[in-house]
């Protein structure tokens, strides 16, 4: 066996798994499975399958996920740098698939760095609705923001906050909340030996404390009738079934939504809570059986690492006993009745009382709260937003006449307001409707799906889609703006070929000679100027074309550094 497992871990798994233990241990003799997930914000599945540079095998539980053959390095292809796919461990794709995200939803990813699941959520939202993505560790939010930007997400807000403080600003706001919890990481021992080194006997206890707090706060963030998905990459029942049972006991307006036992998912193990934590089992006796409807992903039973997933459904205030009957009927029709656990009717009145107590604040209450927070906040960003920018935004979106007719017009020297400069750039260079509100933080311009007011007082890493900077009376478009564009949305496009080395040279930051006939132009546009640079048709960054030379605008910190 290549991996040296901690003795205490192996002993515990032997006790829990019994006859299955040997099979479990033999999974450590095999290499971990590598996967990638297609970024359908940038490319359709059909197009990706046509141009995929590797042999790919579908991952059963994720419609956009594929196994990558051993030895293939998908990070060393220009498509990776163009954000066409995210490299992700196959089991880690399961939680978002179970969150049921629909375009238009408001979704919170509470423990999000480095952003694997956030980019998956963003692809499901397809630019509609809101994604708030957060991590409590400042250093890790850098990778999170970069991934959100590389993958072309337009409707995300990136925070570096405690769940508690987010709840102060977004109480009962989200339709879906994902908690990919910090955990003892036992399911990753095969993939990442550092996890073995950092595992300690008491790390489970520490993780339990964090998980309990995060879960409890998530309930405050959820809108009535919403869904929380809780996931870990560990086997410890304390962090999995026991955590969920405790949550259900404290939050009787939630039920476990059964996860169909397909694709190799195994049921949660209430019996392990009874076996190893008799006190907890006793305290949670009324709800414990529900956790059989959660799922365990085992490395010896499917092609992926160890994971645990629970789907927690909030029963909205309009819930009636009949709903339960109806939903059970649906379950039976779906063949998943065994996975859902009944809620006994004697708890109904307790549930209704709880729902009333946790009802969303009125609009006036929320406004009052916001004002108090505003007074208390310390680091106010410089900004020009909301009512003011909303009005101007609407004006900016009302585009009279064809844009090609307007291009190059109306650039009087009097137009020095940042907003005017920004909107003029958009008008001259892009063919998009700006989403959300325009928000100014200093000289940086964003389009925000939640607006600046709600973010006041929070540690905001990105208030929205970073569009660029207004400097010395000029607008400099950002790299994240380019990353999120489609090749039809820029007035000037240069397409580079991934196969002949040209794309790699661009990604390394080199200046390229490109003849004028290769600059694709919309009607009425001249070749000189900012150009969207694409790799095989997919946006990778900006360049500035002039007289046969493409000046490289690919940011230094993002460049391809491998040989």
Ligand X SMILES: C[S@@+](CC[C@H](N)C(=O)[O-])C[C@H]1O[C@@H](n2cnc3c(N)ncnc32)[C@H](O)[C@@H]1O
- Which residues form the catalytic set? 233
Please tell me the distance from the alpha carbon of residue 116 to that of residue 92, in angstroms, as a whole number: 8
Pairing of strands 57-59, 222-232: unpaired
SS3 225: strand
Alpha-carbon Rg for the chain in angstroms? 25
Return the H-helix or E-strand segment holding 370: helix 363-376
Nearer to ligand X, 158 or 439 (CB): 158
310 interacts with ligand X by CB under 6 A: no
CA 449 to chain centre: 15
**Minimum CB distance to ligand X, residue 194 (Å):** 14
Q: Please give the Cα distance from 543 to 429 (Å, whole number).
A: 13
What b/e sequence results for 469-482 when a residue is b if at least 16 CB atoms lie within 10 Å of its CB, and e otherwise? bbeeeebbbbbbbb
* Cβ count within 10 A of residue 529: 16
- Per-residue DSSP letters for 201-220? TTHHHHHHHHHHHHHHHHHH
Quick one: angle between helices 138-150 and 116-125, nearest 10?
Answer: 40
180 labelled ligand-binding: yes
114 known ligand binder = yes
Q: Is 52 marked as binding a ligand?
A: no
Smallest distance from ligand X to CB 90, Å: 13
> Is 202 or 382 the residue whose CB approaches ligand X more closely?
202
Is 116 known to sit in a ligand binding site? yes
| Binding characters for ligand X, 214-253, by CB under 6 A (x = yes) | x---------------------------------------
Q: If binding is defined by CB under 6 A, does position 212 make contact with ligand X? A: no
Distance of CA 503 to the CA centre of its chain: 28
CB of 43 to ligand X, least distance (A): 21
Residue with smaller CB distance to ligand X, 206 or 367 = 206
- What tokens does 29 get? 């003799």
Supply the minimum distance, in Å, between the C-beta of residue 299 and ligand X. 17
Among 42, 83, 97, 135, binds ligand X (CB under 6 A): 135
**Residue of 68, 98, 136, 229 that binds ligand X (CB under 6 A):** 136
Min dist CB 179 to ligand X, Å, is 9
Is 117 marked as binding a ligand?
Answer: yes
Site residues for ligand X, 85-104, by CB under 6 A, read 92
Q: Which of 93/439 has CB closer to ligand X?
A: 93
Question: According to the annotation, is 127 in a ligand binding site?
Answer: no
- Best CA proximity match to 234, nearest among 263, 284, 274, 191: 191
State the number of binding residues for ligand X (CB under 6 A).
Answer: 19
* Residues in CB range of 89: below 8 A, 6 or more apart: 32, 33, 34, 35, 191, 304, 305
Among 98, 112, 228, 483, binds ligand X (CB under 6 A): 112
Output 121 or 245, the one with its CB closest to ligand X.
Answer: 121
Which range touches ligand X (CB under 6 A), out of 26-34, 40-48, 112-120, 497-505? 112-120
**How far is the C-alpha of 539 from the C-alpha of 263, rounded, in Å?**
35
Q: Is 117 in the site for ligand X (CB under 6 A)?
A: yes
The least CB distance from residue 161 to ligand X, in Å, is 8
Query: Under the criterion CB under 6 A, does residue 140 sit at the interface with ligand X?
Result: yes
418 is an interface residue for ligand X by CB under 6 A: no
Which of 98, 99, 110, 470: binder of ligand X (CB under 6 A)?
110
Whether residue 488 contacts residue 464, with contact meaning beta carbons closer than 8 Å, is answered with: no
C-alpha–C-alpha distance, residues 292 and 341, integer Å: 8
Q: At what angle do helices 203-221 and 241-250 cross, to 10 degrees?
A: 40
Q: Which stretch binds ligand X (CB under 6 A): 50-58, 130-138, 318-326, 355-363?
A: 130-138
Q: Which is nearer to ligand X, 129 or 163 (CB)?
A: 163
Among 3, 210, 250, 286, binds ligand X (CB under 6 A): 210
Q: Locate tokens 């209450």: which residue?
A: 365
Residues 256-285 that bind ligand X (CB under 6 A): none
With 0-12 / 13-18 / 19 or more C-beta atoms within 10 angstroms meaning exposed / middle / buried, residue 320 is exposed
113 annotated as ligand-binding: yes
**33, 301 contact by CB (below 8 A):** no
Closest-CA residue to 111 (of 170, 179, 176): 179
> Is residue 163 close enough to count as binding ligand X by CB under 6 A?
yes
Answer for which of 8, 57, 73, 137 binds ligand X (CB under 6 A) is 137
Helix (H, G, I), strand (E, B) or coil at 287: coil
Q: 112: annotated binding-site residue?
A: yes
CA 55, chain centre distance (Å): 26
Stretch of residues binding ligand X (CB under 6 A), selected from 107-115, 326-334, 392-400, 462-470: 107-115
- Residue 304 makes contact with ligand X by CB under 6 A: no
- Considering only 97, 149, 171, 180, the residue that binds ligand X (CB under 6 A) is 180
- Single residue of 38, 113, 222, 236 touching ligand X by CB under 6 A: 113
> 288-315 burial by CB neighbour count: b if 16+ within 10 A, else e?
bbbbbbbbbbbbbebbbbbbbbbbbbbb
Is the Cβ of residue 115 or residue 306 nearer to ligand X in the bound state?
A: 115
Angle value at C-alpha 345, between 339 and 348, nearest 5 degrees: 105
The residue among 230 and 441 lying less far from ligand X, judged by its C-beta, is 230
Which residue ranges make up the annotated binding site for S-adenosyl-L-methionine?
Answer: 111-117, 135, 180
Q: Which stretches of the chain bind ligand X, using CB under 6 A?
A: 92, 110-117, 135-137, 140, 162-163, 180, 182, 210, 214
Which residue ranges make up the annotated binding site?
Answer: 111-117, 135, 180
């Amino acid at each position: 066996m290549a991996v040296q497992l901690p003795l205490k871990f192996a002993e515990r798994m032997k006790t829990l798994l019994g006859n299955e233990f040997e099979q479990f241990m033999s999974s450590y003799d095999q290499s971990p499975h590598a996967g990638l997930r297609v970024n359908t914000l940038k490319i359709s599945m059909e197009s990706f399958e046509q141009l995929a540079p590797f042999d790919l095998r579908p991952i059963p539980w994720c419609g956009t996920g594929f196994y990558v053959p051993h030895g293939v390095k998908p990070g060393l292809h220009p498509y990776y740098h163009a954000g066409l796919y995210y490299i992700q461990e196959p089991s880690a794709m399961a939680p978002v698939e179970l969150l049921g995200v629909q375009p238009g939803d408001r979704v919170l990813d509470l423990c999000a760095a480095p952003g694997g699941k956030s980019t998956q959520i963003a692809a499901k939202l397809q630019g509609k609705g809101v994604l708030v993505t957060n991590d409590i560790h400042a250093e890790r939010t850098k990778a999170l923001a970069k991934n959100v930007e590389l993958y072309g997400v337009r409707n995300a807000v990136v925070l570096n906050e405690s769940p508690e403080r987010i709840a102060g600003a977004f109480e009962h706001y989200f339709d879906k909340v994902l908690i990919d919890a910090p955990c003892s990481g036992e399911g990753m021992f095969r993939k990442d030996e550092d996890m073995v080194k950092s595992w300690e006997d008491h790390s489970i206890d520490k993780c339990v404390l964090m998980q309990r707090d995060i879960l409890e706060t998530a309930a405050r963030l959820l809108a009535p009738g919403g869904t929380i998905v809780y996931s870990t990459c560990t086997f410890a029942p304390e962090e999995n079934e026991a955590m969920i049972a405790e949550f259900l006991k404290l939050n009787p307006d939630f039920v476990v939504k059964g996860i169909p036992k397909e694709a190799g998912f195994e049921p949660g193990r209430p019996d392990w809570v009874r076996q190893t934590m008799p006190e907890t089992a006793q305290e949670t006796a009324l709800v414990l059986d529900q956790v059989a409807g959660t799922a365990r992903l085992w490395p010896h039973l499917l092609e992926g690492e160890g994971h645990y997933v629970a789907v927690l459904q909030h029963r909205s205030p309009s819930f009636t006993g009949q709903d339960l009957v109806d939903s059970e009927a649906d379950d039976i029709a779906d063949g998943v009745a065994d996975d859902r656990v009944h809620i006994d009717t004697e708890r109904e009145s307790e549930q209704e009382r709880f729902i009333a107590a946790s009802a969303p604040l009125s609009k006036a209450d929320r406004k009052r709260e916001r004002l108090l927070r505003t007074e208390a906040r310390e680091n106010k960003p410089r900004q020009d937003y909301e009512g003011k920018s909303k009005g101007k935004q609407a004006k900016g979106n009302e585009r009279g006449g064809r844009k090609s007719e307007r291009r190059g017009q109306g650039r009087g020297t009097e137009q020095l307001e940042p907003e005017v400069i920004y909107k003029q750039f958009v008008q001259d260079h892009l063919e998009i409707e700006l989403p959300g509100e325009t928000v100014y933080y200093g000289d940086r311009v964003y389009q925000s799906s939640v607006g600046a007011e709600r973010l006041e007082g929070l540690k905001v890493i990105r208030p929205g889609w970073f569009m660029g900077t207004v400097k010395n009376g000029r607008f400099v478009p950002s790299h994240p703006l380019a990353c999120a564009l489609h090749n039809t949305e820029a007035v000037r496009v240069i397409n580079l070929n991934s196969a002949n080395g040209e794309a790699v040279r661009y990604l390394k930051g080199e200046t390229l000679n490109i003849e004028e006939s290769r600059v694709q132009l919309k009607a009425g546009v001249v070749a000189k100027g900012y150009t969207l640079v694409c790799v095989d048709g997919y946006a990778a960054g900006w360049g500035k074309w002039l007289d046969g030379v493409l000046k490289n605008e690919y940011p230094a910190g993002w460049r391809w550094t491998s040989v």
